[in-house]
Chain A
C-alpha cells in the first residue's frame, strides 16, 4: 500500500466524518487500527514521553505536543492529519476542556481526556464537554490499545446520521473516494469499509457503495462543510479567496469548483450585508423599519418597545437585530422562495420556545442531550409557566414575551454555562459561535431554543438535514423538517440557531459529538422540528405545513383560516413546547400575518379575532395556542428573545450560522413586508415572492 500520494482527501469524505486516513501515511487497512494517527497533548514531559512510547507500541502514528496551542496549530494546519486526540486536563497555557471544545468545533475529532484527577466532577466535566473518553493517570498501555474504537464509533455515527438525513453528501464522497485513482486509498477505503462492515452494520457500507452509482448530487452545504469553507476562506483572506484555492484548501472530495464558487458568492453577499449594517445600538426599531416599507413601522412600534426593552436589557443585540434586518432587507435578491414567512417566523418562535422547552426537558427528543434541558432552563422557567397559563386565556402582550425574554436574556448570559450543558447540540452551537471556529453559529444567543434544537439532533439527526428550504413548497418542509426533507428548513433552523445564539458554550464536548452530526447534516436545522414531530404534533404539523404553504401561495382568504391554523401548527411544531410563546403573544403578529395573508384585510382587530379564533380552534391544542402567541413574536422580539448577547449575535452573523440566518431573516423579512401588519393590507400581491433556495442546508 503506498503512501497516499493522493491519499490526502481521497479517503476523506466529509473529511471529518468519514476520513480514515488522509494524511501522509496511510495505514495498512488490514491492520487497522494500526497507523491510527494520534495527537497527544500533555504539559508533563514524563507522561508525554511515556504515552508516546505506549502509543507507538500500539502501532499508532503518534505526534506529541506539550502545549495546547501547539496542538491546535498542528490540528489546524492539517485538518485531516489526525484521527484522535488525547489531552491532559490541567495544562498551563490552556485548559484541557477548552482545547476539547476547540477541537470539537473545528475539527470534530474524538478527544480523550486524561488526568491524575479522578474526581467525579472532573470526569463529568469531560463528559459534558464531549470527551469521548476519560483516562485516569497513570495510563496503562491496555487503556490505549482500544482508543481506536472512538474513531470508529464517531465515524459510524456520522455516517449513520448522514444516511438517515438523506443527504447524499457522504455517499457522494464515498464513491468519489473509490473512484480515486489512488489505488491505495480505494483499497483503504474498501478495506476500511470492510473492516467497518465487520464492526458495524453491514448495510451502512452497502448503502454507501450504492451511492456511488448516484449521479453527483446537489452539494449539501452541511454545517461541517460550511465550516471548512469558512476556514478556508479565512485562511486565504476574503479578498484572495478564489473558488479554486478554497476548493483546494477544503480538500473535500466530490466538491467541485462550481459548488464552491456559488457558495462563495452567497457567502460574500452575506458578509457584505454584515458589514453594511452599522450597529444601531438600541435602534432595532429603526433598522427594522428603515429598510423596508412602513409596514414595518407599526410592527416596529409594536415590537419596538420590546426590542428596546430587550436591547436595553441587553438581551437583544441591537446590532444583531439591525444586522438581521439589514441583512434580510438587503437581500432583495430572492433566491429562493420564502416558503412561509409566517412559518419561518413561527419557526423562530418554535425554535425559541422549543429551546426553552428543551431546557425544561419537555422535549423528550431534545433531552437526548441531557444538557439541552439545562440550556433552556433559564427561559423555560420563566416562560413556560406563564405561557401555559396565558395561552389558554387572554392573550398576553408581546411585552410579556419580551419581558420574559429580557430577563431571560440576562439569564442567558449567566446561564450560558448552564445552557451549554444542554448537551451536545449546544456545544455545537457554541462552537459555531466561537469566533475561532469557522462555522460559528454564534454565541449562544438563545440558548434555549437553539440549543434545544441542536440537541434534538441527537434523536433526530436526519431531521435536521431534511429541513429543506422550501418552506413554501412544503409547509411540511417546515414540519417535515424532521421528516427528512432535504429542504431549506435546516437553514432556518440554522439561522435560528445561530441567531438564537446557540448559547451553549460549555457543552462543547457533548455538543460537538451530537452536534457534529447534527449540524453537518442539517446545516443548522433546528431539531426542534424534529422534536415536534415526535411531540405528537404531527398532525398539527402537517397542518402547519399546509398553513405555511398556503401563506406562501398567498391564498389568502381561504387560507386565512387555514393559515392561522397552520400558523399555529407551525408554531406549535416549531417547538413551542409549552406554549411559552403562547401566553405571550396574543397578538401574534405572525398569526396576524397569516391572517392578513389569508386575504383578509384584517385590522388589528381582526387579528385579535383571529387570535381568538385560533385559540378556539385549537383549544385542545395547547401547542397551537402557543404558536399564536409565538407568532406574535415579532421578529425583533424573537431575536431579542433569543439573543442574549450582542456579540454573540454578531459573531453568529459572522459565521455560517449567520449566513443561514441571513437567509432565514430574509424570509422573515419578507414575511413582514408581505403582511402589512398595521394597515392590515396585503401587500404581498405586489411583491414578488422571494424564493429562498436553501441550498446550503439540505
Chain B
C-alpha cells in the first residue's frame, strides 16, 4: 500500500522533529486534540501561530531599530511570543525567547540583538520543518481512509 510508506515516512519525520528538539511534549498535546471533528487541528493551530508570531517578530524588529532599546517593550513582546511558541510546543524557539528576555532584563542590547537573530533562524527552521511535515501528512491522508493499492 502506498500509504504505508508515506505514513512511515511521516512517522520518521515526526520523530526527528522531537529528536532535534524543534518540538516538545506540548506538540503531542496538540496532536492528541486532533480528532475526527478536527482532523487538521494541529496544522490549523500552527498556521494561526505563524500569523500571530510573524506579527510579533515584526514588532520586535521595529523596536530593535529604535535606539536606545526599550527593554520593557521588547520584553513584553517576547513574552507574548514565548507564550504562543510554548503553546504549540516550539521548543527551540521558546528557549531562544527565554534567552532574549534575560538579555532584556539585564539591559544587554547586544545580547538582545544576537539572541533575536538566532531566534529568527530557529523560527525559520521550525516553519520549514513543520511545513514539510504537514504537507506530507496531508498527502498521507487521514488514517481512516482506505488506501487503494496502485
Contact = CB atoms under 8 A, between A and B. Distances in A.
A53 B33 contact: yes
Contacts of B49: 46
Interface stretch (A134-142, A363-371, A507-515): A134-142
A45 B38 contact: no
B69 interface: no
Contacts of A179: none
B80 interface: yes
Nearest to B25: A140
B26 interface: yes
A141 B48 contact: no
Given A138-B29, A138-B86, A53 B41 contact: yes
Given A49-B48, A90-B76, A44 B33 contact: no
B79 interface: yes
The bracket for how many chain B residues form the interface is 20 to 34
B33 A57 contact: yes
A53 B52 CA distance: 18
Nearest to A136: B86
A629 to B, nearest CB: 49
Interface in B27-58: 29-30, 32-33, 35, 38, 41, 44-45, 48-49, 51-53
Interface in A39-72: 44-47, 49-50, 53-54, 57
A217 to B, nearest CB: 49
A116 B52 contact: no
Interface in B65-116: 76, 79-80, 82-84, 86-89
A44 B83 contact: yes
A28 to B, nearest CB: 20
B108 to A, nearest CB: 19
A386 to B, nearest CB: 43
B87 A46 contact: yes
Nearest to B89: A138
B79 A117 contact: yes
Contacts of B52: 44-46
Contacts of B35: 57
Nearest to A116: B83
A44 B84 contact: yes
Contacts of B89: 138
A46 B41 contact: no
B88 A46 contact: yes
Given A138-B26, A141-B32, A50 B80 contact: no
Contacts of B41: 53
Nearest to A43: B80
A117 B80 CA distance: 10
A141 B53 CA distance: 23
B33 A47 contact: no
Q: Which of A46, A47, A57, A116 has the most CB of B within 10 A?
A: A46
A117 to B, nearest CB: 7
A88 B80 CA distance: 11
Contacts of A139: 87
B67 to A, nearest CB: 25
17 contacts: A44-B80, A44-B83, A44-B87, A45-B48, A45-B84, A46-B52, A46-B84, A50-B45, A53-B33, A53-B38, A57-B35, A90-B76, A115-B83, A116-B86, A117-B79, A137-B87, A138-B26
Interface of A: 44-47, 49-50, 53-54, 57, 88, 90, 115-117, 137-141
Interface of B: 26, 29-30, 32-33, 35, 38, 41, 44-45, 48-49, 51-53, 76, 79-80, 82-84, 86-89
